[in-house]
Amino acid sequence: MNIRLTLLEIFLLEALLWLGLWLLNDYMAALLTLILGAIVLAILLIALISEWIERSKVPRRYFYIMGVSVLALICAALVYVMLSGGRLDFMQS
């Protein structure tokens, strides 16, 4: 069974998972967003630079999915911060 999701479906699924994590534990979500966001963005940039230097057989869809993953992380964090009024639980004293 071969299921191929569109980029919009991938974005919505990832954003939903990240928002769920933000709702469960905003401290863990903030750490994972920063760490995984930086890692995925770095991998994407390195892959784009290496692709620019020498073409490979990596499908374009890979780059789009990586970009959508970074975008989903950022959007989920922004939505949560806006809905919470900019006040995160772990920042309260």
Share of the chain above pLDDT 90, in %: 74
pLDDT band at 93 (very low <50, low <70, confident <90, very high): low
Angle at CA of residue 69, ends 56 and 60, nearest 5°: 25
Residues 72, 8: Cα–Cα separation, whole Å: 10
1 or 81: which leads in pLDDT:
81
Residue 16: band (very low, low, confident or very high) from pLDDT cuts 50, 70, 90: very high
Number of Cβ within a 10 Å radius of residue 4:
6
Query: Do the Cβ atoms of 20 and 82 come closer than 8 Å?
Result: no
Nearest to 86 by CA among 15, 26, 14: 26
Q: How far apart are CA 83 and CA 63, in angstroms?
A: 30
Average pLDDT, the chain: 91
